[in-house]
Amino acid sequence: MKVDLYNYIKAAQKMNRRQVLKGSAAIGAVAMMPKTALAGGHGNVRAEILKIPGVGAGSPTDSDWQKVGEMCLGATKDNVSEGEFEGVELTFMGLNNQNLHNFLFRGFLKPWEAYTGAKINWIDLAQADYNARLQQSIATGTADFDIIEMGAPFEGDVLGKGMASEMPEWVKEQIDMDDYVDYLKAPVGTWGGKTYRVSIDGDCHTFAYRKDYFGEGSITGRDVPTTWQEINEVSKDLIGKEDPLTGLPAHGYLDPLKGWGGFGFYFLENRASAYAKHPNSPAWLFEPDTMKPMVNNPAWVQAIQDVMDLIDAGAYPTDQINADPGTTAFQQFLAGTGSMLMWWGDVGSNARTSDTSVVGEVAGFGVNPASERVYNAKAGAWEETRNEAPNMAYIGWGVYVMATVEGDEKKKKAAWSAAAHLGGKDLSLWASAYPSGFQPYRNSHFQYDEWEEAGYDRAYVEDYLGSNADSYNHPNAAIEPRIPGIFQYYSVAEDELAKGYAGQYGSAQETADAIAAAWEKITDQIGRDGQIAVYKASLGM
């Protein structure tokens, strides 16, 4: 679970004294249990680990991570005998964001190291250094690590170049891959029909709105919008009205109009996915057979036009042209400017826990809005049917084993065993329930009874995580292409969009055409044939 989400739920729910005592008693009981009982109590392990350290008992520490790691070793013990990896050394490259990620992995893997006899060396990277370090390793074909924590968008770069090791069958069974939410199942994590990824996280954009703007007697006097058409209508209607919370000018949807190192493009995608992601094809950014950009087809042009319409109408706050996604979420929406936003999970959690947030009591959540019509790229025509396509922006973190372990069966098994331990079904439940930097990503994570039993407020968990679950398992989820250089495409699109939004292009179509032309150049530079093959593979075609 993301730290903010944990704090959010903690702050949002009213923990009574009995619940706290229940948690404390459980910790005491667990602490008194002998090690064998801990490991052997597999049936109750999920309930037991959720009591470490106990909801409301402060943030977990290294000893908690080790305890959880120890208690979740059962699956490892089924496949690996004690001391089997004696003498094996592995190098793990991952992040150190918020003192989580690798810090947790260290704790989780310490009991695994003690049991198997393997030793793990760690490469900790800041988020800002991560992409450059990985890109460098990819470009030079040199991997000085055996296991990597990596985002799925890089799969094209890494898996497409044969730099990773294929997942053995026993790992698939150990981590119960069938339990993954739909969008994380193949083709995500696979390449050319082979599986490579142990998922440890899920990502998607969800819709956040201000409850006090909607409903009877509110300033809009209407229900929460569920389509982009309605969102634009509401945003225009709000011009000249006053925000009920702050008394400042009221605003509707907050589009970020400034680039964000490529990540800003996800936010145009949120609008475009409803228009462009037709259920009849997984492709919505490029035509799979030619890599011809679809970004200048009528669907994408409509999405850009929607934004331009709101600019022309003066519906955005002042200086919105200089607002990146970080600004729209944390300086605008949470601070009471604007009433609708798309963002990852943490904006909702921050609504309650951030000192600068004023919308904690009035924030509501939903899935990515739909469109009243959808563009069928295959037929080249609009269809007047409602279409919903949640945007799985960034897809989420996974653990991958590099091809460096090939040729040494003992080392390979050790690396995969470590990865499987981190992506284990029970351990991942704990990671999704406590601060870890990761979101729930398995269907079993959404069994709200378990959360309730652990001491969470069911209504909050259901309301907030429900929007994620609905997005993850959506039959028409829009998955980004895992092709080499995907952020190059996004970055150059941001530059062109900035020009379009500043009125330097004659129309939305011209802006979209400029993006398409820039994308064609990148495709040619990286290699069109290779990109086509990789794109098709990433879509499972």
Q: Would you tell me which residues interact with other proteins (CB under 8 A)?
A: 132, 135-136, 138-139, 157, 161, 248, 258-262, 317-322, 324, 331-332, 335, 337, 484-485, 487-488, 491-492, 495, 498-499, 501-504, 521-522, 525-527, 530
Three-state DSSP state, 507? coil
Distance, C-alpha 46 to centroid of its chain: 24
Of 460 and 487, the one with the shorter C-beta distance to other proteins is 487
What minimum distance in Å lies between the beta carbon of 504 and other proteins?
5
Tokens 């924030």 found at: 363
Are the C-beta atoms of residues 537 and 187 closer than 8 Å to each other? Answer: yes
β pairing state of 374-376 and 381-383: antiparallel
What minimum distance in Å lies between the beta carbon of 356 and other proteins?
9
What minimum distance in Å lies between the beta carbon of 203 and other proteins?
20
Distance CA 337, CA 335 (A): 6
Distance CA 245, CA 225 (A): 20
Tokens 């900035």 found at: 498
Helix 528-539 × helix 508-526 angle, to 10°: 100
What minimum distance in Å lies between the beta carbon of 373 and other proteins?
30
Of 279 and 503, the one with the shorter C-beta distance to other proteins is 503
Of 78 and 242, the one with the shorter C-beta distance to other proteins is 242
What minimum distance in Å lies between the beta carbon of 139 and other proteins?
4
Which of 418, 410, 399 is CA-nearest to residue 88? 410
Of 280 and 504, the one with the shorter C-beta distance to other proteins is 504
What minimum distance in Å lies between the beta carbon of 87 and other proteins?
26
Tokens (6 digits) for 252: 């509707």
Of 258 and 271, the one with the shorter C-beta distance to other proteins is 258
Of 105 and 263, the one with the shorter C-beta distance to other proteins is 263
Of 132 and 459, the one with the shorter C-beta distance to other proteins is 132
Of 161 and 241, the one with the shorter C-beta distance to other proteins is 161
What does the buried/exposed string (b/e) look like for 124-155 if buried means 16 or more CB atoms within 10 Å of the residue's CB? Answer: bbeeeebbeebeebbeeeebebbbbbbbbbbb
What minimum distance in Å lies between the beta carbon of 354 and other proteins?
14
What minimum distance in Å lies between the beta carbon of 365 and other proteins?
24
Are the C-beta atoms of residues 276 and 297 closer than 8 Å to each other? Answer: yes
Of 59 and 318, the one with the shorter C-beta distance to other proteins is 318
Distance CA 5, CA 369 (A): 22
What minimum distance in Å lies between the beta carbon of 216 and other proteins?
29
What does the buried/exposed string (b/e) look like for 371-387 if buried means 16 or more CB atoms within 10 Å of the residue's CB? Answer: bebbbbbeeeeeeeeeb
Other Cβ atoms closer than 10 A to 466:
16
What minimum distance in Å lies between the beta carbon of 484 and other proteins?
4
Distance CA 386, CA 30 (A): 52
Other Cβ atoms closer than 10 A to 4:
20
